[in-house]
């Protein structure tokens, strides 16, 4: 019996989607066969991957919560599901179809391979400009010895039990019961002489190196599909797909919001008061930002077209620079004297610090209302 999927991920049964994702990413990194030194890393990695594929999907999770493993171990599923995640209705459809003759004959001569997922981390520059990355993916490949058929001769024989029909009929009293053939599992074919290299599965374990082309403008959570680069199918079945999930590392200068970039720029107090010019970085090089006199902390400057070109359109975002006025530190005695002289040059009730005056008035009003 397979382990409980919640226990595999180490989460509670009411875990949120974010909790599931964090648990999956932590365990996937821990047990990834390319980095883990634990002897059972590959098996644990597959268990973690399978558990997350079920629990992240609301429909599959509901079926699992109600019916356990039987609720999610049907036919081939969607992205990430591969062979093994079907509709719960298929389970009961097969039962009643077998008992009463059913009319639906399921011939599974070969099964499509499992879809795989790979999490790829990029620098912001790589995501914005686009790049090409080589990745190593542990997977099930097609056995070269038997060309994926599972048979040493490369041919499948007709099942001797069902005569190639995939079903057998049994008489139980007055009822004639039709069931899936127990010998061939409904495929109508059998392997009499299994391949020595793959023991009849048509699949062998391998680590494949693939080249992934990253289009310009991809962002956190984007997904790239590589058709046919997933696991090979059993007994000659078609290969699944590989889904590359994009994660962007934090950048020391920029934060990204959609197609816009944000950057916080410290400026000296003298530049803020008198105005000036400042070089600021962009992903295309530096540009000169003109700082007007009397600029306050928090002032936002927008540089049009200096953001990210959208991966879905030709539009380009902006770079928004938020200035922060920096108070000078490590002053000499002479510098401090100059600042005191500068401070004394202000009139007692002057208009040089309007925000301070407004804040003082609001504080006084508050104290008056509170009776302080």
pLDDT per position as a tens digit, 114-123: 899 999 999 9
Q: Identify which has the larger pLDDT, 279 or 74.
A: 279
Q: What is the mean pLDDT of residues 167-196?
A: 76
Q: Which domain holds residue 286?
A: 255-329
* Tokens 């079903």, located at residue: 167
Residue 349: the pLDDT is 57
Per-residue model confidence as pLDDT tens digits over 18-53: 899 999 988 888 888 777 777 888 888 888 888 998
The answer on pLDDT for 87 being more than 50 is no
Alpha helices in the chain (DSSP H): 5-9, 17-31, 41-55, 58-67, 88-99, 124-129, 269-274, 333-344, 354-370
In a domain, 306, yes or no: yes
Residue 96 near residue 89 (C-beta atoms within 8 A): no
Read off the CATH number of the domain in which 306 is found: 2.60.260.20
Asked whether residue 222 is assigned to any structural domain, the reply reads: no
Q: Is 218 helix (H, G, I), strand (E, B) or coil?
A: coil
- Burial (CB count <10 Å: 0-12, 13-18, 19+), residue 369: exposed
Q: Which residue has the tokens 């927008």?
A: 302
Q: What percent of the chain has pLDDT over 70?
A: 86
Decide: 258 and 286 in contact? Cβ < 8 Å. Answer: no
Across 221-229, average pLDDT: 92
pLDDT at 174: 59
49: Cβ contacts below 8 Å, ≥ 6 apart:
24, 28, 117
Residue 309: inside a domain: yes
**Mean pLDDT of the 47-62 span:** 88
Q: What is the mean pLDDT of residues 239-255?
A: 94
* Residue 86 pLDDT greater than 50, yes or no: no
Mention every residue, 6+ apart, whose C-beta is less than 8 A from residue 252: none
Is 297 contained in some domain? yes
Please state, rounded to an integer, the average pLDDT across all residues of the chain: 82
What is the C-alpha to C-alpha distance for residues 301 and 322, in angstroms, rounded to an integer? Answer: 6
Mean pLDDT, residues 281-304: 94
Higher pLDDT, residue 242 or 360: 242
Query: What integer is the mean pLDDT of 60-85?
Result: 58
Of 193-207, 243-257, 341-355, least confident by mean pLDDT is 341-355
Contact, 265 vs 299, CB < 8 A?
no
Cα maximum dimension of the chain: 112
Q: Is the pLDDT of residue 100 over 60?
A: no
| pLDDT higher than 60, residue 322 | yes
Whether the pLDDT of residue 76 is over 80: the answer is: no
Does residue 209 sit within a domain?
A: no
Is residue 202 within 8 Å of 141, Cβ to Cβ? no
Quote the pLDDT of residue 173. 57
End-to-end CA distance of the chain: 71
Whole-angstrom distance, CA of residue 109 vs CA of residue 234: 9
Helices (H) and strands (E) in the chain, counts: 9, 15
Global pTM? 0.59
Distance CA 218, CA 260 (A): 13
pLDDT band at 110 (very low <50, low <70, confident <90, very high): low
Q: Which residues pair with 284 in a beta bridge?
A: none
Q: What confidence score (pLDDT) does residue 61 get? A: 87
Confidence tier at 89 by pLDDT (50, 70, 90): very low
> Is the pLDDT at 102 greater than 80, yes or no?
no
**Domain assignment present for 293:** yes
Residue 323 lies in a domain: yes
* Cβ atoms of residues 279 and 300 within 8 Å: no
**Which residue is it, tokens 């973690």?**
48
In three-state secondary structure terms, 244 is strand
Question: What's the average model confidence in pLDDT over 159-169?
Answer: 82
Residue 260 lies in a domain: yes
Count of structural domains, the chain: 1
């Amino acid at each position: 019996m397979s382990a409980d999927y919640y226990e595999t991920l180490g989460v509670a049964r009411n875990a949120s989607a974010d909790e599931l994702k964090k648990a999956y990413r932590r365990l996937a990194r821990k047990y990834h066969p390319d980095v883990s030194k634990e002897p059972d890393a590959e098996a644990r990695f597959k268990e973690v991957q399978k558990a997350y594929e079920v629990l992240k999907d609301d429909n599959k999770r509901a079926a699992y919560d109600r019916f356990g493993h039987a609720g999610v171990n049907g036919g081939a599923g969607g992205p990430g599901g591969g062979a093994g995640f079907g509709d719960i209705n298929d389970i009961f459809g097969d039962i009643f179809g077998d008992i009463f003759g059913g009319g639906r004959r399921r011939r599974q001569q070969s099964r499509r391979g499992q879809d795989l997922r790979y999490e790829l981390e990029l620098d912001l520059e790589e995501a914005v400009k686009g790049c090409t990355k080589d990745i190593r993916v542990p997977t099930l490949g097609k056995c070269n010895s038997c060309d994926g058929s599972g048979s040493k001769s490369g041919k499948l024989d007709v099942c001797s039990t069902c005569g190639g029909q995939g079903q057998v009929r049994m008489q139980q009293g007055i009822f004639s019961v039709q069931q899936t053939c127990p010998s061939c599992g409904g495929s109508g074919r059998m392997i009499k002489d299994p391949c020595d290299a793959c023991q009849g599965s048509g699949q062998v374990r391998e680590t494949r190196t693939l080249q992934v082309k990253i289009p310009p403008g991809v962002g956190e959570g984007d997904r790239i599909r590589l058709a046919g680069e997933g696991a090979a199918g059993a007994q000659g079945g078609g290969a699944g797909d590989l889904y590359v999930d994009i994660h962007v590392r934090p950048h020391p200068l920029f934060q990204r919001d959609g197609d816009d970039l944000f950057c916080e720029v410290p400026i000296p107090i003298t530049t803020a008061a008198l105005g000036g010019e400042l070089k600021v970085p962009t992903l295309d090089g530096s540009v000169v930002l003109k700082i007007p006199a009397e600029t306050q902390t928090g002032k936002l400057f927008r540089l049009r077209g200096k953001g990210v070109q959208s991966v879905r359109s030709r539009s380009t975002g902006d770079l928004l620079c938020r200035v922060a006025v920096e108070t000078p530190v490590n002053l000499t005695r002479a510098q401090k004297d100059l600042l005191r002289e500068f401070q004394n040059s202000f009139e007692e009730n002057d208009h040089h610090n309007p925000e301070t005056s407004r804040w003082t008035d609001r504080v006084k009003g508050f104290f008056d209302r509170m009776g302080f």
